Chains A and B, each alone.
Chain A
Amino acid sequence: MRFFSFHLMPYPDLPPDYDGPAWITCPNEFFDPRLGGDLYNRYIDELVYAEELGFDGVCVNEHHQNAYGIMPSPNLIASILARLTSRVRIAVVGNALPLYDPPTRVAEEFAMIDCISGGRLIAGMVVGGGPEYYSFSLNPAHARERFAEAHDLILRVWTEPGPFEFTGKHYKLRYVNSWPRPVQQPHPEIWIPGVGSLETLEFVAKHHYAYMGIPYFHISVFERMFTMMREACQKEGYDADPLQLGWLVPIFVADTDAEARRRYEEHFWYFVRRLLPGINISPPGYTSVRSSENIMKNAGTFALNLDSWDEVVDGQYAIVGSPETVTELLAANVERLGVGNLLGLFQLGTLPAAETKQSLELFAAEVMPKLRASFPGTELAAPPAAAPATATS
């Protein structure tokens, strides 16, 4: 089991009377640059502190034009972390490949971070969220094609001697020859986040990558998703390594269950009611019809529909409580889901620095050691042969 501290870098200061979406059209006059600077530095400190507390890694991600996560360039933050830390894996989960044109930019920046960190990068690749296709005016009907082509290009950049020519449908490059190259050979570990699209699961299984289940759904949705992932790996002729599966979940620990809820609940609701609205927009053609059906089935359990704390607890949308309660719930779910990577969101919504720090400390001191003892194993088995660099699904 590997433990990661994941940060969304949310904006905690939307005006109380604003009830619009936090995405695409949320007025950027609400962004106070001075506060923004404080937040970036505080959030970076929280990630760096995770190393001191014994986490295996830290995670950052990419979103644009929104208050949910003010990190349009996770690579900037990851490069700072590469310099400020010395041991943890740095997972960028991920770069939204279709938004980079040409996507050799991703290969270059990831290779830089891998060099600066001495080979600690985990390279996440993602199609990008639905809102991103509005924010970039990028055609969502081309999203999957561009992602697949960009992925092939990046893998070739890392594994084939340059210069070479790349001629795809969306990218035509006459001289591909990235300086630098990544420290990790043949390439950094690759993670793909997803919400259960079949195409994505099949793609991850085929390439022996790791699949990160994106949160804010009822726990039963994750159970189905990881079962589908294991089935997809079996179809490819192998059993999924638990370290190929990651579960992302908000976590808060305090001395007692009652105290944990008392200190956490309002911050969780800010996140759900103020920062999630707008995240679930699905632009036309963004998802295949086959996957849309599956995703629509789960939509009713999306956290935006939550009304009461009982529902949060029942569906395990967040794991909140005393060290004993949190240990017990996490152990049961790790067992049930069969995951080998726990990605904890320790800061969420408006949760202040002091609360975040205390929760992280309690988790590291009283939860993590017990889970480590129950779920040993932190080395990913190598795939039988190097994953093919050019085949697409």
Chain B
Amino acid sequence: MTTLVRTTLDSALGAIEVHRGGHGGPAPLVYLHSAQGEGPGATLLEELAATRLVVAPLFPGFGDSEGLQHIDDIEDAAFHILDVLDRSGLPQCDLVGTSLGGWMAVELAVRWPERVRRMVLVNPVGLYVSGAPISEIFGRRPSELAAELFADPDYPLAQLMRAMDAMEADPSQIPFELVRPILQSQAATAKVGWNPYLHDPKLPGRLHRVTAPTRIVHARQDGIVPRAHAEAYAAAIPDAEIADLDGAAHLAVLERPDEVVKLVLEHLGD
């Protein structure tokens, strides 16, 4: 029995799949997912929903969310999320975002700081840090990527990604129903993050606008985003701190949900 239920929100860009449930807490918690599209059925969200109202929209191109044809860049993404908050009746919320979703959370918070009470960013992208490049996520062998996304090579999704390598030579062997959502979500990620690569050159100059107390969670084994990015965010956002997490990599929200929930709730308070 899950607490979150799937709902459909009518946004300016089309129908958006939103997973929503739970109650309590000082403010509703909005979760913005990574390029992995985690959300439906995620342990992390179920645990958060035990004490909070959780609202987790899927970005256009992910799940059944429509409107990707209207998204060209990260600014379109920020305006879309603002629209989702408005239509969900959320004048103010706590924002939690992972990786791509962390970037989108910050883009919202620099434009409309009053909409965000407190914020947690887990391994966020969004910045360019000289000498500390974000690893390539497009066109990589799934097995290589798995090693950067997960700390534990035996995590089920990591195993699945390694198995995909074997099917690479003949993709006709892979059922297309499995491939379709991956193609769509990768296209969505490319729309906002292909060039400039997973960052917004204007963002550093705007970070001073963030008013929400912000915690940046950095997983020590993250193979995608170096710690220097968490440091750059922490240095430029007025009220910010870094929380390091051991034994986790880029997709800590999937691999270590209990620890991430603890770090999130500790920062958001009850």
A377 interface hit (Cβ, 8 Å): no
User: Given A139-B194, A285-B186, does the pair A300, B139 have CB atoms closer than 8 Å?
Assistant: no
Question: In the complex, how many residues of chain B place their beta carbon closer than 8 angstroms to a beta carbon of chain A?
Answer: 23
For A292, list chain B residues within 8 Å (CB): 179, 183
A299 adjacent to B190 (CB under 8 Å): no
Residue of A nearest to B139 (CB): A281
Using A141-B187, A296-B179 as known contacts, say yes or no to A134 and B172 having CB atoms under 8 A apart. Answer: no
Q: Nearest B residue to A278 by beta-carbon distance? A: B139
CB contacts (< 8 Å) of A299 on chain B: these are: 170-172
Q: Which residues of chain B from 13 to 59 have any CB-CB distance to chain A below 8 Å in the complex?
A: none
Q: Which of A141-160 contact B (CB under 8 A)?
A: 141-142
Which B residues are in CB contact (< 8 Å) with A289?
Answer: 180, 183-184
Question: Does residue B169 face the partner (Cβ distance < 8 Å to A)?
Answer: yes
**By the criterion CB–CB under 8 Å, are A137 and B170 in contact?**
no
User: A216 → chain B, closest Cβ, in Å?
Assistant: 14
Chain A residues near B173 (CB, 8 Å)? 300
Give the total of A residues in contact with B, Cβ under 8 Å: 22
Q: Is A305 in contact with B187, judged by CB distance below 8 angstroms?
A: no
* Bound Cα distance A300, B170 (Å): 4
- Judged by a CB distance under 8 angstroms, whether B76 is at the interface is no
- In the complex the two chains form, is B172's CB within 8 Å of A284's CB? no
- Binary contact track A245-285/B, C-beta < 8 Å → 1, others 0: 00000000000000000000000000000000000010111
Of residues 217 through 246 on chain A, the ones whose CB sits less than 8 Å from some CB of chain B are none
Separation in Å of the B164 CB from the closest CB of chain A?
Answer: 13
Residues of A124-142 contacting chain B, CB below 8 A: 133-134, 137-142
Contact B189 A284 (CB under 8 A): yes
Is the beta-carbon distance between A137 and B176 smaller than 8 angstroms? no
Contact of A293 (CB < 8 Å), options: B72, B176, B184: B176
| B112 interface residue per 8 A CB criterion | no
Are A283 and B170 in contact (CB-based, < 8 A)?
A: no
B195 at interface, CB cutoff 8 A: yes
- Neighbouring A residues of B169 by C-beta, 8 Å: 300, 304-305
Distance, CA A98 to CA B194, complexed state (A)? 15
Tell me which residues across on chain A come within 8 A of B139, comparing CB atoms.
134, 281, 283
CB distance from B159 to the nearest CB of A (A): 23
* Complex contact A305–B194 (CB within 8 A): no
CB distance from B71 to the nearest CB of A (A): 9
A297 within 8 A of B: yes
Say yes or no: A141 contacts B190, CB within 8 Å.
Answer: yes
Q: Chain A 312-331, CB within 8 Å of chain B: the 1/0 string?
A: 00000000000000000000
Complex alpha-carbon distance, A298 and B172, angstroms: 7
Give 28 CB contacts A-B under 8 Å.
A137-B197, A138-B194, A138-B195, A139-B194, A139-B195, A140-B190, A140-B194, A142-B72, A283-B139, A283-B190, A284-B183, A284-B187, A284-B190, A285-B188, A289-B180, A289-B183, A292-B183, A293-B180, A296-B171, A296-B174, A296-B179, A299-B170, A299-B171, A300-B169, A300-B170, A300-B171, A305-B169, A305-B170
Chain B positions near chain A (C-beta within 8 angstroms) = 72, 138-139, 169-174, 176, 179-180, 183-184, 186-191, 194-195, 197
Q: Closest 7 interchain pairs by CB?
A: A285-B187, A284-B186, A300-B170, A284-B190, A139-B194, A141-B190, A300-B172
Extra A-B contacts (9), CB below 8 Å, given A283-B139, A300-B169? A138-B195, A139-B195, A140-B190, A141-B194, A289-B183, A292-B183, A296-B171, A296-B172, A300-B171
